[in-house]
Copies of this chain bind each other. A is one copy, B any other.
Amino acid sequence: MTRHPIVTALMLTSLPASFPLSGTAQESTSPVFGVALPPGYRDWQFISVAHEAGNNNDIRGILGNDIAMKALKEGKLPFPDGSIIVRLAYEYVASDRNNAIFGREQSFVAGAPTNVQVEVKDSKRYASTGGWGYGQFENGKANPSAKIINSCFACHAKLPAAADQVFTTYSK
């Protein structure tokens, strides 16, 4: 996809006053899409969990804002505009403490945070990428790599159309 530098400027002028814009715009928003870390995302509701082995080797929780959760619970996809999904990834760590208690090597827990990925639905702003904008954040700062951010869309676009570019389904 092509970059849309104007998106960043639009985001900055339309942000609510409560938005925590510390540092530069580059630190706060993703390249290509201009996606910021949504305020309060850590307190959002739980969608599901996953473990990615391989290069990531992480364990992750996936949360959604109210708009996304309503769509997921009602099974009404595609997601409406305003839906935001965040994926919190952590180092995949064997728990020596738990294994000692359980008497076998079986327990893997979340270690230090690795990164947070954010997916924002805005069918007009992100029309050229199926209605979704993407961002990745380490220690609260946007990863500045356009290559990484473009790979988000490239990968999510491989999902079946019914998934609406979201890997995770709601776990009851």
Flag if A51 contacts B51 (CB, 8 Å). yes
A118 within 8 A of B: no
Flag if A108 contacts B53 (CB, 8 Å). yes
In the bound complex, what is the Cα–Cα distance between A48 and B102 (angstroms)? Answer: 19
In the bound complex, what is the Cα–Cα distance between A155 and B103 (angstroms)? Answer: 11
How many chain A residues touch B (Cβ–Cβ < 8 Å)?
A: 42
With A61-B171, A88-B171, A90-B171 in contact, do A49 and B49 touch (Cβ < 8 Å)? yes
Query: Given B46, B54, B102, B106, which contacts A61 in the complex, CB threshold below 8 Å?
Result: B46
Say how far A70's CB is from chain B's closest CB, in angstroms.
11
With A90-B171, A171-B88 in contact, do A158 and B106 touch (Cβ < 8 Å)? no
Interface string of A103-144 (1 = CB under 8 A from B): 011111110010000000000000000000000000000000
With A61-B171, A88-B171 in contact, do A50 and B109 touch (Cβ < 8 Å)? yes
Flag if A50 contacts B172 (CB, 8 Å). no
CB neighbours of A155 from chain B (8 A):
101-102
Give the interface of A toward B (CB within 8 A).
42-46, 48-54, 56, 59-61, 63, 69, 88, 90, 92, 95, 97-98, 101-102, 104-110, 113, 155, 158-160, 167-168, 171-172
